[in-house]
Each structure stands twice: as C-alpha cells, then as structure tokens.
Structure 1
Amino acid sequence: MPKNAPKYRPSVCIDAVFGTISSVEAIDQVAAAGIKAFEFWGWWDKDLDAIEAARDRHGMQIAACCTKFISLVDPATRDDYLAGLAESIRVAKRLKCPTLISQVGDFRPGVDRRAQHDCLVIGLRQASKLLADSGVTLVIEPLNELIDHRGYFLVRSDEAFEVIDQVESEHVKVVFDIYHQQISEGHVITNLRNNIDKIGHFHAAGNPGRNELTRGELNYPQIFSAIGETNYGGYVGLEYWPTKDAVTGLREVAGWFGQ
C-alpha cells in the first residue's frame, strides 16, 4: 500500500454505503471515518440545501453525482439526454461538483451495434459543447452485464476508451469501475495504466459480492499503488454495500489513501 499520501483521493458513495439513512446522516458518517469527499447517484431526489450545509459543516467536497439516466444509443432520446445534462451541469456547478457520471443506456435489440456506438459518439460530441467552460467533466461508465446490468450497451473498457478517442474532448472521459471491469474483462492494472489519461473517475468494490474492498479476489493495495504511479489526481469512489459497520470498514480503507 502507498507509504505516502497519493495524489488521488477517496470519495464515498453515500447511496451505496449508507443507503438506509438520510444523506445528511451519511455525510456525518463519512466525516467520522476521516474521509473528506463523498458522492451520490441522482441529485434530483436529494435535499441539496441540506447536503450543501452538511458538506460545509465538515469542510468536505462533493466528488461526483449522476446526470439523468437517458439513453445515448438511441437518437430519439438524444435531445432529452442533452436537456437533462444541461440541468445536471447547472446543479454540479452549484454544488462545486467536478464530475458528472453518465450511463449510456441499454443495447437496442435489432439495431446494428456499430450504429448504436456511433450514436453514442455523436451524442457525446454534442454533450461536450455543453460542458465547455463549465468546469465539469462528464464520465461514461462501462458496467458488467454478467451479474448486475444485463442488457446494458457499454460493457468493456476498450470500447469506452475508443468512444473517448472518437469524441475528442477533454471534457468527456471514462469512469473506470474496478469491480465492473474485473467481471467483464480482468487485466485491471494493465488497462488502467494504458488508458489513464482517458479516465476521469474510479469506482471500487470487492469482488465477488460488491462489498468491502478488503473482501474478495481484488488486491486493492496493489491496484491503488498502480494508480499512484500514474499522473491521476482525481477521486476513487468507494461504491460498495458493507457487510459490517460502515464507518469501521471505511476507516480500514482510508489508510490506503493516507487519510
């Protein structure tokens, strides 16, 4: 594990780790674990005033939240996606949140896969115009379809990185979810090292089970050391479902980040 505090920082996904309590209570618990940043999924179902107040009370940062879940692989929904993104950018700026996480939608049966890929690229190119000068980065997320997201379009990181190359915007990157990519393809360290400049956010959970990072087959101290050897200075979102006291589990992992 890193001996000195790395450039990258931990963030706690409060919806996953503390899903049974209020957002404010969850933020209090993250602070109690000694971690200085948090993230969440949808902003539209949250009391943003209360979240901002809790953030400021603890001197914390909001690392990421999601834009609206509208398909990018269907041209018929592109305008709705862009309208939702514009609204999400305004919220992100209000929250001083640097990153918006985007799913891309499910595979459309009967439609050529390459056509859907191209539709995704076109939509993200248009999205990049909304992101320009906003201070916000949009990150698209590959998800595993074997266990958690059957039917989802974007599964492998190599296709996600190809999309980023085609979009050609510094405002659009990938959220590399280590749990999902271990299931979908493995080779986690090699893939993140070779594409680190296209990664704008990480997610992490143990596999199997999507529980604490200390459980399962993934050697997170080694993975984090590999990230630390790159120029990555963003967040690693801890997005898992705890099997024990959540604060205790977070404190165990916080030490890996020099927290």
Structure 2
Amino acid sequence: MKLSACIEWLFSDASDDFAERIRLAKAAGLDAVEFWFWSNKDLDAIAAALDETGLPLSGFVAEPMIALTDPANHSAFLAGLKTSMQTAQRLGARVLIAQAGDDLPGRTREEQHAALVECLKAAAGILEGSGVRLGVEPLNTLIDHKGYYLSSTREALNIIDEVGRPEIGIVYDLYHSYVMGEKIEEVLKDRVSRVLHAHVADHPGRNDPGHGKINLGKRLAWLYDNGYSGAVGLEYRPDGSTADALQKVRATLNDTTG
C-alpha cells in the first residue's frame, strides 16, 4: 500500500512551508504527497522539494473549483483545466481532482447530471494524450458539505460510465462514503477500475485512522483485492503531531480484522 500525505493538513503542526512538508513526509517514510490548490503555492519550491526527495505528487485540485452542475461555468472550468493540466505535467502529477459543485436551486437533478456529463466529456478531450486524468469526488452532505450535489458514489460512477472516456474517473474517499452509509463492496462492485485515487480519514471527527470507528483496513483490503493499485491519500486532520501518529495510522490501515 502506497501512502500519500495530504500536506494541507499533514505536517502542518511542524511547518508552514509546503516544500518543507514534502521533506517531512519523506523523512517519515511516506510514499507520495498531494495538496489542494496549486495557484496559492510556490511551485518552484514545490518542484525543487519533489526533485530533492524523489517523492511523486499524487495529485491536486483542478482550478478553478466552480460548480460543474452549472453549464454557465463550463467554459471557465475548461480553460482553467488546461493550465492545471500543464502544471500537473510540470510537477509529475497524474491525477487532477474536481468537485461537482452544489445542488442548484431551480435545476432538476437530471439537468445537473447531464451538465456534469457534458462538462466531463469536454474535459476528456482536453486531457487526451496528456498523461493526466481527472477524478470527480463524491462528498458527504450530512456533515462536511451540505448542499453538495454529488453525494452518491453510484451516481458518480454512472456519470463516469456515461462519459465513457479513460481520462475521467472518480476519487473515492472512504470517509465520505462511510458517512453517507455506503458499503464499499456494493457501491464499487465491478467498477473499481474507475477509481483514480483514494482518500481516508476516520469517523467521527475526520481525524487520524485509528481514532474512530471505520474499519479502514478491511475496506482498503477489499479495494486492493478488487483491482485498485493507486496510492491512498491521507486526507485527515491530525489529532496532535503528524509524525508521532503515523505508526498507529499504518497499523490501522493494514489491519484487516474485525
């Protein structure tokens, strides 16, 4: 299992410098790093730290982060996607992350579903041949993202299947899926190949794995046993020192009992 540190939260207790957080991730024995927005970071320093440590960059957010459920936003998103793709190529990232946006008042779910399919088809054309893929992320609407459109992993996968392009998949966050009451073996059955990247955090609290009640190890074992081969993004709020907790985090993610 390859572990990717989301340095927006991990190692924030030790440094305000994102390049230094990359070095701290390397020192802690992690396999990759990731972050959210790229436009607010010193990309030269990030590139130098990645080169120095040899850590791959799992991915980051495709900017601008605007509602793809609204067709009025598609032109701006697609223009920004080109720049995000070029940044990903520069930094060696293979996955860009997109969010669907809010459930829009006055629009049916069918209309918004169709808007997402339309935008993602156009995005696939931009990404074709680049080596960069786009993952749409379902999020929970019960705690963290009330009003978000895409809370269902099944619907996200249905959208991906309608798009029908290898450049487009999903980011599967085990925390968000658990909060929405989903069972991984049901929502991902026969469609694990559409998962471009995975995220973990525990519940309640969205803290370190091992601090809550999700059996993350068993769920990750199922994911890998059914064909997933990518990294697992550690996207949680550390409850204390990131480095001090990592031994327990690793043990939790490798514990398939229970």
**TM interval, short-chain normalised:** over 0.9
**Are positions 1:238 and 2:234 aligned together?**
yes
**Are positions 1:13 and 2:6 aligned together?**
yes
Shifted more, 92-101 versus 188-197: the winner is 188-197
- SS of 1:237's equivalent in the other structure is strand
5+ long unaligned stretches in structure 2: none
The CA deviation at 1:19 is 3.8
Name the residue aligned to 1:64: 59
The CA deviation at 1:59 is 1.3
The CA deviation at 1:166 is 0.3
Cα shift readout 1:94-139 (whole Å, capped 9, x = no counterpart): 0110000001111111111110110110000000000100000100
**Are positions 1:29 and 2:18 aligned together?**
no
Higher RCO (C-alpha 8 Å, min separation 6): 1
The CA deviation at 1:10 is 1.2
The CA deviation at 1:35 is 0.5
The structure 2 residue matched to 1:123, chosen from 113, 119, 130, is 119
Shifted more, 64-73 versus 246-255: the winner is 246-255
> Which whole-Å CA distance do the structure 2 matches of 1:189 and 1:211 have between them?
23
**Are positions 1:137 and 2:127 aligned together?**
no
Name the residue aligned to 2:201: 205
What is the aligned residue count? 250
> Which whole-Å CA distance do the structure 1 matches of 2:49 and 2:113 have between them?
40
Shifted more, 161-170 versus 242-251: the winner is 242-251
The structure 2 residue matched to 1:95, chosen from 76, 91, 94, is 91
| Aligned-residue RMSD, C-alpha | 1.4
**Are positions 1:151 and 2:147 aligned together?**
yes
TM-score, L = length of structure 2: 0.93
CA contact (8 A) 2:89 2:132 kept: yes
Which one-letter code corresponds to 2:247 in the other structure? Answer: R
Name the residue aligned to 1:75: 71
5+ long unaligned stretches in structure 1: 1-5
**Percent of counterpart pairs with the same letter?**
38
- SS of 1:194's equivalent in the other structure is coil
Cα shift readout 1:159-214 (whole Å, capped 9, x = no counterpart): 00000010000010000000001011321243334320111110100011000011
Shifted more, 188-197 versus 157-166: the winner is 188-197
> Which whole-Å CA distance do the structure 1 matches of 2:185 and 2:248 have between them?
22
